[in-house]
Amino acid sequence: MKKIAVLGSTGSIGTQTLEVAEQNQDMEITALAAGSNIRLLEQQIRKFRPRLAAVWSEEKARELKAAVADLDVRVESGMDGLIAAATESSAQIVVTAVVGMIGIRPTIAAIQAGKDIALANKETLVTAGHLIIPMVKEKGVRLLPVDSEHSAIFQCLNGERGNRISKILLTASGGPFRGRTKEQMKDIRVEDALKHPNWSMGQKITIDSSTMVNKGLEVMEAKWLFGVEMDQVQVVVQPQSVIHSMVEFEDGAVMAQLGTPDMKLPIQYALCYPERRPMAGERLDFWKLKEIRFEEPDFENFPGLSLAYKAGKTGGSLPTVFNAANERAVSMFLNRKIGYLTIAEIIESAMARHKVIPDPTVDQILEAERETYDYIESRW
Ligand code: NDP
Ligand code: MG
């Protein structure tokens, strides 16, 4: 039996992970964690019978506890609950599918407890990659990418042991506003930005995809996962999302992974690695597809991407500021407190005033996050 803990089980990646688990007879769910959606969490508990369930809010945890009193499941709350779910003794692999930097402590706790990690929560690697990568090596656990681009790169590297990567070609759909100028984007509303052309995802990552901040986070994620420099990661816009990413080797050969856009593939691949298992779903039809188009990214009208390169190259605590400023700005945009273009302005301004700490500890990362939030609150 593959014993799996899912952090963020009620979200887009979390629910798809549970669908994968349902389709594989040998997968057992041992722990679930969510923010506040206890209605869905209760259904998941009844179906998958984990030993432990964690809810962020204490009040909701109490409500859930009463609702599942007939079952043999422990209910915990807050950061302690999230860490308990990440370290629950029977799980072998933890799917980190919470959204945002909240994932740092539970991911570290899971690694320390010797669990393999199926990583969806890119914000954790972006902000704490310099701590997590050495820890993964020290503990001898696996860090398996769930993000579709990184799973593609990981698949391209299969059987390439020892062969050095010359360049990673990270593909991007360009989002719903590809081709627009800043002037044409200034009145974008929340509902417009929540429509992604190819993928159906959680709200935060959908906004991040539209601003290209998601691609920026992914460049930094690739740097940590595959041990390359920022300049070795080239973003290639490929609007159909057919090629999920590519790797160029030193002899000029390029390997690519292609497929229809379905997150269940990278999720199942991470859970079953190195095995490939059958999966239902649409297949690529190259006769119908006819062509695959490529474009350069538009750094000028989508400054989130250039700011990410700056943050990733500088390193230290700057990626944390980039990420924290984006998390707060996106939440303000979703709550209709700021305009669309202000998201990138906030990130830029927060980065400009920050004094970079090289090699920050977890506490310093969380302090830089706090300071960034305070700064944004004082100005917007
Ligand atoms: P969603 O917003 O759909 O889901 C987020 C999940 O995190 C929910 O289960 C939510 O619970 C839970 N959560 C939020 N805050 C807390 C908290 N404080 N404590 C415990 N749980 C919490 O996000 P996605 O699934 O889209 O994304 C998850 C991660 O995966 C992100 O880092 C994203 O960048 C990454 N990712 C997502 C992809 C996708 O296709 N969706 C693709 C590649 C990467 P609740 O529902 O109760 O609020
Ligand atoms: Mg991705």
- Is it the case that residue 120 has pLDDT exceeding 90? yes
Residues counted in the chain:
380
Please tell me the pTM assigned to this model: 0.98
Write the pLDDT tens digit of every residue in 345-354: 999 999 999 9
Output the residue whose Cα is nearest ligand 1's atom 39.
Answer: 201
Cα of 247 from ligand 1 centre, angstroms: 28
127 within 8 A of 106, measured Cβ to Cβ: no
Q: Residue 223 carries which DSSP code?
A: H
345 is in an annotated binding site: no
Position 138 confidence tier, pLDDT thresholds 50, 70, 90:
very high
Q: Taking all residues of the chain, what is their mean pLDDT, rounded to a whole number?
A: 97
Write the pLDDT tens digit of every residue in 262-287: 999 999 999 999 999 999 999 999 99
Residues whose Cβ atom is located within 5 A of ion ligand 2: 147-149
Identify the pLDDT of residue 368: 98
* DSSP characters over 3-21: EEEEETTTSHHHHHHHHHH
Cα of 215 from ligand 1 centre, angstroms: 17
Residue of 6, 7, 9, 12 best suited for mutating to test ligand 1, as the one with most atoms within 8 Å of CB:
12
Output the residue whose Cα is nearest ligand 1's atom 23.
Answer: 202
Pocket of ligand 1, beta carbon within 6 A = 8-14, 33-37, 56, 82, 97-99, 102, 120-123, 147, 199, 201-205, 263
- Is it the case that residue 334 has pLDDT exceeding 90? yes
Write the pLDDT tens digit of every residue in 48-57: 999 999 999 9
Contacts for 196 with CB less than 8 Å, ≥ 6 apart: 173, 175, 176, 206, 209, 210
Q: Which atom of ligand 1 is nearest to the CA of 214?
A: 34
- Is it the case that residue 199 has pLDDT exceeding 90? no
Write the pLDDT tens digit of every residue in 226-255: 999 999 999 999 999 999 999 999 999 999
Identify the pLDDT of residue 161: 85
Neighbouring-strand partners of residue 247: 168, 255
Six-digit token pair at 79?
């950061």
Which amino acid is it at 361?
Answer: T
Identify the pLDDT of residue 261: 93
Q: Number of helices (H) and strands (E), helices first, in the chain? A: 17, 11
Query: How far apart, in whole angstroms, are the C-alpha atoms of residue 6 and residue 29?
Result: 8
- Is it the case that residue 198 has pLDDT exceeding 90? no
Cα of 204 from ligand 1 centre, angstroms: 8
**Alpha carbon separation from 48 to 6, 9, 31, 36, 169 (Å, rounded):** 11, 11, 9, 19, 38
Q: Which residue has the tokens 């999966």?
A: 279
Position 216 confidence tier, pLDDT thresholds 50, 70, 90:
very high
- ω into residue 274 within 30 of 0, thus cis? yes
Q: Which atom of ligand 1 is nearest to the CA of 37?
A: 47
27 within 8 A of 271, measured Cβ to Cβ: yes
255 within 8 A of 247, measured Cβ to Cβ: yes
87 is in an annotated binding site: no
**Alpha carbon separation from 232 to 66, 166, 287, 307 (Å, rounded):** 52, 7, 33, 16
Nearest ligand to the C-alpha atom of residue 267: 1
Query: How far apart, in whole angstroms, are the C-alpha atoms of residue 149 and residue 151?
Result: 5
Q: Which atom of ligand 1 is nearest to the CA of 120?
A: 30
